[in-house]
Structure 1
Amino acid sequence: MSVVLAVLRLARRNAWRSRGRSALIMVMIGLPVLVITGMFTLSETMNVTPREGLAAELGTADARLVQTPEGTVLQQQPNGTSWNTGDGDGAAAPELSAAEVAALLGPGTRLIPFDTGTLRLGTDQVDALETDLRDPLTRGMLTLGEGRFPAAGEVAVTPALGLRPGEMLRPSGSPPLRVVGVVEHPHRPSLREVVGPDLPLAPPDAFRGPDMQGPGWLARTAKPVSWSDVPALNRAGLYVTSRTALLALPPAPDRLSPLNVRHTIGLGAMVIMVVLETVLLAGPAFAVGLRRRRRELAEIAAQGGSAGHLRMIVLADGLLLGGAATLVATVLGIATGALGAPVVARWGGQVGPADVPWTPVLSVAALGLIAGIAAALVPAVQAARQDPATVLAGRAPAAADRRGWPLAGAVLVLAGLGATVVARRQPDAVWVWSSAVLIMIGMVVLTPWLIRFTGRPAGRLTLALRVSVRDAVRHRSRTASAVAAVMAVTATVVAMGIGAYSEHMDRRKAYTSARPTGMLAIWGGTMSDATWSKLRAETVRRLPGVPLASGYQASDAQGHRYALRYTVRWNGTRTRRSVAIGDQALLKLLQGRHDPRAAAALASGKAVVFDPAAVRDGKLTLRASSTSAPARQLIVPAVVATPAEEYQGGALLPRTLVERADFTTAERQLYAMHRLPAGSTLPRDLAEVTYRVTVAAEEGYNNMPDPGLWGWLVGALVLVVGGTLAATRLAAADMRPERATMTAIGAPPGTMRLVVAGQALYISGLGALVGLAVGTVTGVALSRPMTTHGAGDPATIAVPWPFVIAVVVGLPVLATVAALITRTRLPLARRLL
């Protein structure tokens, strides 16, 4: 029998004999593989490519055509679509007839109409598709789950609406519609949609793009609609989605190019971190196996086994368990991602056919196998160096430190700190993470020295803690792996917490608006005076009793519309402000009070500015720009005033000041301190007058800190507590003689539990403190590339103290409490003196 087969057989027998330890090792190695593989598969399955979505978009038709509004200049190309809505009032273009569209597509064309939009149901609205699902051209767009497809005066609904066949749907302002079927979208299970051949669709709030919504046709053509046919259809005002054109597009390029140095270095740093963490977590469990097999290995050595044979036996454990864990985790990860995609899509998103990105999945599997072998490497080296006579005599081998290791660790830490200082000034955070890898590896090398150094004051501790710390110091090779694992987890989580919270606080400081919280703004675009009068009247009717302040639009003598802006630095970022034109009523709204000084300045023809940095020598420099006329520069007198909110900026110009600069002004804006109730239909009501209206409500800064931080805390909880308990179980096994002696001299069970809990407290506490130091350095360094926006912009550094305390204090406490329930009763053992 070959040596390889022999060591694999020994590894299999040992794994089956110690099933609990083998399961722990497989979980430590396989869990990262399962999670990463599942995420890759989930992401790939939920990514519906244009080819996969053809049936849902076109059915069996060859093309779909959407009519665009009047004045839209449309240009479709294989690399994207551009459009310009022109300067009209937004009236719909005369719809092309089916015969005209068929003539554009050529003889033999068959068309069926369709339209997309929304359907109002009281204060709610749902997506709506107006087409005949009974026509063969629509086959595949929606799948019938219950009932039948609707005819005239009937509808089908998706399951998310919760309606069944036979129930009535009651659109606002229209006769009720009977539900006759339940249909499902092939890729969007969470879609709330109503489908029927004749629906009372609500007018759109605004024109957002020709591919969003609008009336059109599904077409079956005699010849394919290729990209060469698209320009002529665009000139006729038709947005085209063609089966032939989409299939002709090349596949999307790989997002992670191997030639991208930044991505390569970031991926390499991530791989090192994953392997390092897996090795540190699984290492104590392999050490448990080495302790239990020490006598067996000594007997093999006494019978002629070489040091290489002993190394192979222990490495075979890593190969067998790592391979099994990787195989099981890969299969479970693929299954989890494929089966979880439809579940996740029901909360939002889309799902396509199950798809596995084999290149990254196999790379992760290889990474797991390498991690398993690497985790067994240190125990393998220890097994090759053990003295058979000492082991067979029942004595524990003496632990000796490598003299050069503390120096090597210090050099790596200093090199990492230097690299961090340099990386902190780079625009990408990947360089900081790469530098942090050096610091962490250096701290792993320094960990045995830290354990010996922190064990010196153990004599001043109580009996239980003194025994725990001295045992941990005596078995530094075992303790160091667990401490380093806790350190790496804590450092990573603390660094992520500081970086993410700093970014959140920077966004909060950077938030700015030209309006105070609670202000409602209604802006009209380019439109005639008659259209604006209708829009204003409708606004007054829809907001009875709400005081409205007027804003004005500037135009030149030729009727070209101009926007007045200035640029100022806000939180280190160059911010371009649009200037409002108005009177005392608007000034009072912007300031939230009556300011006599600002009101007098506005009345005298001066600009009132809320950005002090924008005013120099009592002047404000403005740029008047137009899309159809040359830009101009204006320098106007200005005074600085205090706005209603601290985040507020902007400026207000009186009409007289603008008109002295050879502009005319016309009312095109309305402002009010009014909060719209939930479900308000005001935007849709005003869009019925003209879609060239924008309704905006200022809600202030309401972005919450990243909830993913607490997800990181849960992950850290599993890793820290799991790694600590694995190390304390190993310590409990190694301390059997001492614990037996303590039991023999009358030590109560509580003392024994305190000894084991002391081990957990020492391991998790030391690892958490060192991880706090490393994570703080990395987190502070991360804050600069994550929060700066240019040269001279100071970094925002913010520490989420509750989160950090939960990680650094809470996790060791939980690990200690969990260790208290460890079984401590042992039979009396014979001590060898």
Structure 2
Amino acid sequence: MSATAAALRIARRTAWRSRGRSALIMVMIGLPVLVITAVLTLTETMTVTSTEGLAAELGAADARLVQVPEGTVLHQQPGGANWSTGGDTAATTPRRGAAEVAALLGPGARVIPFSTGVLRIGAERIDATETDLRDPLTRGTLTLSEGRFPSAGEVAATPASGLRPGDLLRPDGAAPLKVVGVAEHPHRPSLRMVVGPDLPLAPLDDMWSPLGYGAGWLADTARPVSWADVPTLNAAGMFVTSRTMLTSPPTAPTRGSAAEVQYTVGIGAMVIMVGLEVVLLAGPAFAVGLRRRRRELAEIAAQGGSAAHLRTIVLADGLILGGAATVVAAALGIAAGTLSAPVLARWGGWLGPPDIPWPPIACVAALGLFAGLAAAVAPAVQAARQNTATVLAGRAPAAADRPGWPLAGATLVLAGLGATVVARRQTAPVWVLGCAVPVLFGLVMMTPWLVGRTGGPAARLRLPLRVAVRDAVRNRTRTASAVAAVMAVTATVVAVGIGTHSEYIDRRDAYTSARPTGMLAIWAGPIGDPAWNRLRAETVLRLPGVPLASGYQARDAQGRRYALRYTTRWNGTRTRRTAAIGDQALLRLLQGRHDPQAAAALASGRAVVFDAAAVRDGRLTLRASSTSGPPRTLEVPAVTATPADAHQGGALLPRALVEQAGFSTAERQLYAMHRPPAGSALWRDLARVTSRVTVASEEGYRNVPDPGLWGWLVGASILVVGGTLAATRLAAADMRPERAAMAAIGAPPGTLRMVVAGQALYISVLGALVGLAAGTVTGVALSRPMTTHGAADPATIAIPWPFVIAAVAGPPILATVAALITRTRPPLTRRLL
């Protein structure tokens, strides 16, 4: 039998004999593999490629065409998903009928309607598709699961809509529709939609999108519709998606060199940091095995085993446990990703056929196997260097320091910090993450030196903690690995927490509006005075007792509408605002109170501006622009004032000032401090008067901090506590003589537990403090590229104190408590007489 085969057999038997330790090591190695594999499988399964979604997109048709709105010029790009429109009121696109669309596709073409939009049922809106599911061209778009396909005056509903055969839908202003079937979308279980051949779709307004809402057709053509036909169809006002375009797309442009480099650096930094943390966390558990097998290895050496044989035996532990952990974790990750995809898809998203990305998973598995071997390297080197006579005599081996490591580590740390200073000036945060890698490696190399420096202050501690700290310092090789593991995890969590929270605060501070929170705004488009009077009367009727303030539109002598805008800086970014035109009533709403100075300025014909940076020398520069008239530049007298909300900007112009500039004014806006109740039908009621009405309610900044940060903290706590307890268990095994002596002189069990808990507290606190320093530096540097939007934009640095305190103090407390409640038996030590 070869030495390698013998080492593998010994490792297998040892792993089975120490099942608790083996399980801990497998969890440490396998947990990252399981999570990454599950995410990869889940993402791949929930990603529907153009080929997989072909039937749902086109059914049995050769192409789908979507009519663009009038006045739109379409420029479709390769891939069928990139599009741009340019409004041109002079050039309108006529609405085409089915015969005209068929003629565009050539002889032998047949088309059927396939329009997507919404049905309005009271205050509710539901997605709807107008097509005949009985036609063979629609085969595959939906799968019938109950009832039958609808005919005239009937609909089929998806399961997520909650409708069943026999239910009635009552669209606004249309005849009731009877539900006759339930049909499932092949890839969207959460889709709420009804389908029928003659649906009263609501006006699309601004909802049109070639990949979303729009009137269109499915087409059966005599020849394939290729990219060569796209420009002609675009010119005719058609967005086209064809079977040929989806199955044979043009060659995609290659990724730019800068983006490729950033992508590679980001992936590399992530792999290195994950591998480093796994190695550091699993290292103490391998050291426990080495300490327990020290005598066994010494006996092998005494019988002729070489240092290489001892290294092979210990490395075989890493190969066996790392391989087993990787295989089990990869299998569980694939199963978890595959099984969770249908569940998540019912909450939202797409669902394709089960798909396993084997190349990335193989890379992740290789990383897990390498981490297992790397975690066993340090114990393997220690096993090869141990003194056989010392071990067989029962004496503890002397710890050997490496005097060059602290200096090399300090050099790496300084180099990484210097690179971080440069990287924070870059636009991509990936460079900061890349620079954090040498800092972490340098701190890992310095950790034994840091552990050694903490021995002196331990003299002031109470006996249990003093014994624990001095034992940790004396066995700094064992302690350093656990401290470095805690440091790496804490640094990563703190850095991500500071960067993410800074980005949230920056987005919150960057939010701005020209109206205070709680204001309701009603705007009318280009309508005449009679229509406006009816709209105003309807608004008063629908909002009884709500005070309304008027806003005005500016028009030139030819009746063309003009918008008066100015540009300012808000939170470091250039922001363009439209100035409102109104009177004292609107000013009180915008300020939330009566401001005598601002009111006097407005009455005297000056603009009241809430953006102080926009006013220079008492003047506000405005640009008057129109879709059909020449632009103008105006300079008006202005004063600054305080708005109702901190996020609020904007300006209010008196009517007299606008009219002095050569414009006329007409009331076309209404404002009120009023929050419509949930499900309000105000917009629908006003749209009955005119479709050219907009209703907007200012709700303020509604986003909340990312809750995923606390998920990071939970995962980090599990890793820190697990690694700390593994090292503590090793320390407890090494401290048997000390604990036996303490028990012999009458130390109670609580004191013995305090000694063990002191090890856990020392390891976790020292690692957390060093990790806090490293993570803070990286997090602050990370905040700049994540929160700046140009050279003149200052960085936003915000530290989430509750999160940071929990990340630094939480794991040590948990680890100490876990060590305290662990049963500690008085050790039985053989003494020489």
Smaller-chain TM-score range?
Answer: over 0.9
RMSD of the TM alignment (CA)?
2.6
Structure 1: runs of 5 or more not aligned: none
Which residue does the alignment assign to 1:636?
A: 636
Could you tell which deviates more after superposition, 33-42 or 120-129? Answer: 120-129
How big is the shift at 1:491?
Answer: 1.2
- Structure 1 residue 339 and structure 2 residue 339: aligned? yes
Could you tell which deviates more after superposition, 381-390 or 147-156? Answer: 147-156
Mapped partners of 2:688, 2:139: distance in 1: 33
Q: Which amino acid aligns with 1:465?
A: L
Which residue does the alignment assign to 1:646?
A: 646
Which residue does the alignment assign to 1:261?
A: 261
Could you tell which deviates more after superposition, 106-115 or 374-383? Answer: 106-115
Mapped partners of 1:526, 1:53: distance in 2: 42
Mapped partners of 2:653, 2:104: distance in 1: 52
Q: 1:693 to 1:48 in 2, by over 3 A?
A: farther
Q: Which amino acid aligns with 1:96?
A: R
- Structure 1 residue 767 and structure 2 residue 767: aligned? yes
Kept in 1: contact 2:740–2:829 (CA 8 A): yes
How big is the shift at 1:377?
Answer: 0.8
- Structure 1 residue 417 and structure 2 residue 422: aligned? no
How big is the shift at 1:686?
Answer: 4.1
Matches within 5 A, 1:513-662: 513-526=513-526, 532=532, 535-662=535-662
Mapped partners of 1:678, 1:754: distance in 2: 58
- Provide the identity percentage: 76
Mapped partners of 1:96, 1:644: distance in 2: 50
How big is the shift at 1:768?
Answer: 1.1
Which residue does the alignment assign to 1:34?
A: 34
Could you tell which deviates more after superposition, 230-239 or 61-70? Answer: 230-239
Q: 1:797 to 1:101 in 2, by over 3 A?
A: closer
Please state whether the residue corresponding to 1:346 is helix, strand or coil: helix
Which residue does the alignment assign to 2:441?
A: 441
Q: 1:415 to 1:327 in 2, by over 3 A?
A: same
- The Cα offsets for residues 703-750 of structure 1, whole Å up to 9 and x where unpaired, read as 222211111111111111111111112222222333334334443222
Could you tell which deviates more after superposition, 812-821 or 409-418? Answer: 409-418
Q: Which amino acid aligns with 1:721?
A: V
Which residue does the alignment assign to 1:225?
A: 225
Q: Which amino acid aligns with 2:155?
A: V
Which residue does the alignment assign to 2:727?
A: 727
Please state whether the residue corresponding to 2:743 is helix, strand or coil: helix
1:83 to 77, 85, 93: 85
Structure 2: runs of 5 or more not aligned: none
- The Cα offsets for residues 744-786 of structure 1, whole Å up to 9 and x where unpaired, read as 4443222222222111111111111111122222222222222
Q: Which amino acid aligns with 2:440?
A: M
- The Cα offsets for residues 132-190 of structure 1, whole Å up to 9 and x where unpaired, read as 22222211111122232233333322222233334444445555444332221111111
Kept in 1: contact 2:717–2:810 (CA 8 A): no
Q: 1:428 to 1:38 in 2, by over 3 A?
A: same
Which residue does the alignment assign to 1:408?
A: 408
Which residue does the alignment assign to 1:270?
A: 270
Which residue does the alignment assign to 2:496?
A: 496
Q: Which amino acid aligns with 2:478?
A: R
- The Cα offsets for residues 647-694 of structure 1, whole Å up to 9 and x where unpaired, read as 211111223322333334343333222212111233344455555443
Q: 1:476 to 1:56 in 2, by over 3 A?
A: same
Kept in 2: contact 1:152–1:197 (CA 8 A): yes
Please state whether the residue corresponding to 1:552 is helix, strand or coil: strand
How big is the shift at 1:355?
Answer: 2.6
Q: 1:100 to 1:208 in 2, by over 3 A?
A: closer
Kept in 2: contact 1:516–1:698 (CA 8 A): yes
Please state whether the residue corresponding to 1:39 is helix, strand or coil: helix
Matches within 5 A, 1:716-795: 716-795=716-795
Mapped partners of 2:256, 2:189: distance in 1: 30
Kept in 1: contact 2:501–2:800 (CA 8 A): yes
- The Cα offsets for residues 95-114 of structure 1, whole Å up to 9 and x where unpaired, read as 53333332222332233223
Please state whether the residue corresponding to 1:699 is helix, strand or coil: coil
Could you tell which deviates more after superposition, 641-650 or 162-171? Answer: 162-171
Which residue does the alignment assign to 1:119?
A: 119
- Structure 1 residue 305 and structure 2 residue 299: aligned? no
Could you tell which deviates more after superposition, 453-462 or 626-635? Answer: 626-635
Q: Which amino acid aligns with 1:672?
A: A
Could you tell which deviates more after superposition, 593-602 or 317-326? Answer: 593-602
How big is the shift at 1:512?
Answer: 1.8
Could you tell which deviates more after superposition, 225-234 or 432-441? Answer: 225-234
- Structure 1 residue 149 and structure 2 residue 182: aligned? no
Kept in 2: contact 1:205–1:684 (CA 8 A): no
How big is the shift at 1:811?
Answer: 1.6
Kept in 2: contact 1:67–1:215 (CA 8 A): yes
- The Cα offsets for residues 301-349 of structure 1, whole Å up to 9 and x where unpaired, read as 1122221221122112212222222222223222322222221111111
Mapped partners of 2:769, 2:337: distance in 1: 36
Mapped partners of 1:214, 1:533: distance in 2: 32
Q: 1:18 to 1:764 in 2, by over 3 A?
A: same
Please state whether the residue corresponding to 2:71 is helix, strand or coil: coil
Which residue does the alignment assign to 1:132?
A: 132
Kept in 2: contact 1:451–1:480 (CA 8 A): yes
Which residue does the alignment assign to 1:364?
A: 364
Matches within 5 A, 1:101-500: 101-172=101-172, 174-250=174-250, 260-500=260-500
How big is the shift at 1:788?
Answer: 2.6
Kept in 1: contact 2:519–2:675 (CA 8 A): yes
Q: 1:802 to 1:408 in 2, by over 3 A?
A: same
TM-score, structure 2 length as denominator?
A: 0.94
Mapped partners of 2:539, 2:727: distance in 1: 70
- The Cα offsets for residues 194-247 of structure 1, whole Å up to 9 and x where unpaired, read as 222333433335343344223332222222222333344334433322222232
- Structure 1 residue 810 and structure 2 residue 810: aligned? yes
Mapped partners of 1:685, 1:87: distance in 2: 29
How big is the shift at 1:449?
Answer: 1.7
Mapped partners of 2:578, 2:764: distance in 1: 55
Q: 1:580 to 1:529 in 2, by over 3 A?
A: same
Mapped partners of 2:564, 2:91: distance in 1: 23
Mapped partners of 2:364, 2:530: distance in 1: 65
Kept in 2: contact 1:609–1:652 (CA 8 A): yes
Q: 1:499 to 1:529 in 2, by over 3 A?
A: same
How big is the shift at 1:592?
Answer: 1.9
Kept in 2: contact 1:279–1:371 (CA 8 A): yes
